[in-house]
Amino acid sequence: MKLKLSHLLFTFLAMTMSGGYSAKASRSDGGKEQISLAQFNLRWFGSKEHNTSQNKASRDEIRIQTIRKHMTDSGLMADVLAFEEIVDVKLLSDVLLEKRYNCYSYNHRDPEHQHVVVCVKPHLKFEKAPGSKSYTLDEVDLNGELRPAVHGIVKTSGGKAVMHLFAVHLKSAPDFSSTRLRQMEVISKYIKRDSETLPVTIVGDFNTYGDDPENFSRILAGSQMEEVPSPEKFSWATTHESYEPAKFDRAWITGTLADKVSFHHIIGPCNQSDRRTLQRYNDTISDHCAVKTVFNLD
């Protein structure tokens, strides 16, 4: 991987000192056009069963306002957004994002299903992959009880294809590494079978434990894909004493994209030691922190 952690950290510090990073696609100081991508697991967003408040409408309204402010203040209203754990897709699209994005997901028979959703700003296009009848790779849902991948071709307003994007939410819990490996093998085989000519990006909640990341990289190496490194250790954290912080939210990209990544960081308090800040974040936003990646375009 040609990406250098020191370069990414320098970029992050420079952007922080200059007042933050703009989430809009723009031209960098070097004159290159950019596209930004943020991935975010919003714990049980829109769920009825997992909302402990007696006044659900009020609870949803408060949480939506808090999430929106966090995303706006942190530069997370990126050109492309990938979400996980979205129970109410319409609530996400119409209320949280205020209909400012075009969102793509799927229908599911379970009203409490955690959807994977991809949303793009109107100046971009998100098209079905050639030969695909939908935006889902259903085979990633191995047994009908998991979650499919959402995928498609990200294009500029002029119609230029940027990447084939896959958003995933793999099976959770330490005991299901073999299931997650099978899910990643499905994606890898799809990429090889369809003879991808576009760069590929896979983002989402991979629920990685133990040597999962190394095994995923081994599986994807045949598709010339590598994990994007970040200086931060954790993307998931809770004040619950029974759980250690973890890095579930990751990104793998085609090696040819490596030199085009100008920014890749975990955004939020998951790597801070202030328990009160983390507790407030857990209560009002999520137990996951977002991951933001910025690509330079040719």
The tens digit of pLDDT for each residue in 218-236 reads 999 988 999 999 999 999 9
143 Cβ neighbours under 8 A, 6+ residues apart? none
| Whether pLDDT at 30 is above 60 | no
Q: 291 has which bridge partners?
A: 39, 266
Q: Output the pLDDT for position 52.
A: 56
* Average predicted confidence (pLDDT) for the chain: 89
**How many helical (H) and strand (E) elements, i.e. helices and strands, does the chain have?**
6, 13
Residues 31-296, CATH architecture: 4-Layer Sandwich (3.60)
pLDDT digits (tens, 9 = 90+) for 150-185: 999 999 989 999 999 999 999 999 999 999 999 999
3-state secondary structure of 284: helix
Strand ranges, E, within 170-260: 200-205, 225-227, 249-254
Residue, of 13 and 57, whose pLDDT is higher: 57
pTM of the model: 0.89
pLDDT digits (tens, 9 = 90+) for 58-84: 678 899 999 999 999 999 999 999 999
Q: Give CA–CA dist 149/115, Å, rounded.
A: 10
Domain range summary for the chain, segments of one domain joined by +: 31-296
Q: Give CA–CA dist 41/263, Å, rounded.
A: 19
Q: Give CA–CA dist 243/270, Å, rounded.
A: 13
pLDDT digits (tens, 9 = 90+) for 232-275: 999 999 999 889 999 999 999 999 999 999 999 999 999 998 99
Residue type, 36: S
Q: Give CA–CA dist 48/296, Å, rounded.
A: 40
